[in-house]
Chain A
Amino acid sequence: MVKFKIASVDSIIIYFADFISKENASIVQYNYILLKNLKNRGIIDITPSYTSILVHYDLNCFTSESIMDSLKQHLCLKIEKEEDEGRAVEVPIYYDLEVGFDLQRISDLSDISIEEIIDIHSSTLYSVYTIGFLPGFAYLGEVDAKIATPRLETPRTKIPKGSLGIADNQSAIYPMQSPGGWNIIGRTYLDMFDKNLEGFSYLNVGDRVKFKPISRDEFLTNGGVI
């Protein structure tokens, strides 16, 4: 059910599906990498999300008609199972009440102990569905339904850099200090966004992510800040 829609005079949006699922995310990710690898100078920006890809093109190279014709030839709508394996990434997290301001709230709402929440969260394999909101802010799905928790009613004005949060069935790390409404459960010492980092963002669309619980000591000796 691929649909092309005009987004503006110099961008089109391709819809691959109309609901969020792992399969649909894989199709988007596969085509995103395919378009990126074309290295077409007439394509300025490619923005993948859960079910769509926005393509911003150079009007000196394409019209809305010619970009659609050109992209239709490249897109792949059925992907083989082997092809949806993304890069495996492990992210160390210090899960504790000291930095996980909302562990208690999630525990109260779900009636699950904090130890078990950490266990459930860190034993799930997540994939990066999309990146947005802030540079390097990767939306990870999906959080186990047992600990999925809605956003805070009143967002915090300052969430420290590296904070790991849950919003409904998604998880994400704040790459920089920012206001935000996600339930914070821990913190990493890694830089999720750094202009000196190769690719700039620690996580990329399509990556498979696992969180590894670490001790306070390990967090601090690796440069973690409390």
Chain B
Amino acid sequence: MIDGGILSLIEDFGRFGLCDKGITNSGVMDEYAYIIANRLLQNSPNTNCIEITLGGLKLKAHSSCVISITGADCECKIDSKEVRSWKTYNLNKGETLEFGYAKSGMRTYLAVKGGFNVPDALRSASVTIKEKLGGLDGDKLKKGDILHFSNLQFLENNTALKENLIPKYKKSLDLRIVLGYQVDFFEKKDIDKFFSTNYTISSQNNRMGYRLEGEPIECMVDGIISEGICFGAVQIPKDGQPIVLLKDRQTIGGYPKIGSVLPIDCFKLSQLRAGDSITFKPIEIKRAEEKMELFNSSLLQI
């Protein structure tokens, strides 16, 4: 590791079955880009990778390996040769891989054939810095870190994702939300306002959650008895500005929640950054279940 960049973390699908111990799920923010990164390399689905936030990562291959790059549209060079994302590459011993900064999107995924040899910490290699769990030492990648891998074989034919399957990261997004939790504690006028407001993503956005700015929403109760928070839950704190809770969210919390954004839309949200805009659209539970199934079955056909 020559330079760890802004925030580069070892991640996989995450840590499950431990919320009752106060341990968050963690895991990759954009599962679509992650799944494709492993698929291109014919890795098993939960193979760990590096999640690069915004860019700046620079590393040198001490052995030959095969990599794939997906996610945010980041300038990337192997030695001084420019390469594109959503593709696999053979990296020769001694070559340097360098990421610039994302032009569109927020998170880039770098996977290696066979995965990195990082031990699981509580069933997963995913790093959550707050919990000091996962990765090499429960922290982000730093200059001088060495990541080992076992597969040294080159691919005979490098592969790329079909052009029409590469997502275009836009500056605005409609998020589909299943209403639930404390939705009955909101008056109709506030729910209407919630769905008609154009929200801006604030500078407080990270792996825990995205804080939004826009028309404040009022809830009839200030707080609730602390309860479990699921992926994508939309909290409305006292100031009325919604927060979408993501992978490193706290396991329980005491703010009212209006419902939860579909996981597949949270993956897209994870590619947005401060200043980008979003709106919410309600979706019925049955339709939401169908959309999730469609996402999974379409992945199988890639």
The reply on B144 being an interface residue by CB < 8 A is: no
The reply on A158 being an interface residue by CB < 8 A is: no
The reply on A195 being an interface residue by CB < 8 A is: yes
Smallest CB–CB gap between B209 and chain A, Å? 14
Q: Provided the pairs A9-B289, A64-B285 are in contact, do residues A133 and B22 lie with their beta carbons within 8 angstroms? A: yes
Contacts of B21 in A (CB 8 A): 131, 135-136, 193, 199-201, 204
When the two chains form the complex, which single residue of A18, A45, A195 contacts B17, counting CB atoms closer than 8 Å?
A: A45
- CB distance B133 to A195 under 8 Å? yes
The reply on A13 being an interface residue by CB < 8 A is: yes
Interface size class of B (residues with CB under 8 A): 35 or more
Q: Which of B17-64 contact A (CB under 8 A)?
A: 17-23, 25
Contacts of B22 in A (CB 8 A): 131-137, 193, 201
The reply on B230 being an interface residue by CB < 8 A is: yes
When the two chains form the complex, which single residue of B16, B259, B292, B296 contacts A45, counting CB atoms closer than 8 Å?
A: B16
Contacts of B232 in A (CB 8 A): 8
Contacts of B263 in A (CB 8 A): 8-10
When the two chains form the complex, which single residue of A51, A63, A132 contacts B289, counting CB atoms closer than 8 Å?
A: A63
Smallest CB–CB gap between B261 and chain A, Å? 8
Smallest CB–CB gap between B227 and chain A, Å? 5
- CB distance B122 to A195 under 8 Å? yes
- CB distance A54 to B180 under 8 Å? no
When the two chains form the complex, which single residue of A50, A137, A176 contacts B132, counting CB atoms closer than 8 Å?
A: A176
Interface size class of A (residues with CB under 8 A): 35 or more
Q: Which of A1-60 contact B (CB under 8 A)?
A: 5-11, 13, 18-20, 32, 36, 44-54, 56, 59
Contacts of A6 in B (CB 8 A): 178-181, 259, 285
Residue of B nearest to A201 (CB): B21
- CB distance A5 to B181 under 8 Å? yes
When the two chains form the complex, which single residue of A5, A8, A200 contacts B18, counting CB atoms closer than 8 Å?
A: A200
Contacts of A199 in B (CB 8 A): 21
Contacts of B228 in A (CB 8 A): 7, 13, 47-49, 52-54
Smallest CB–CB gap between A192 and chain B, Å? 10
User: Complex formed: what's the CA distance from A199 to B18 in Å?
Assistant: 9
User: Complex formed: what's the CA distance from A70 to B117 in Å?
Assistant: 40
User: Which chain A residues have a beta carbon within 8 Å of chain B's beta carbons?
Assistant: 5-11, 13, 18-20, 32, 36, 44-54, 56, 59, 63-64, 130-137, 176, 193, 195, 199-201, 204-205
A-B contact pairs, 5 of them (CB 8 A): A6-B285, A8-B262, A53-B228, A131-B251, A135-B21
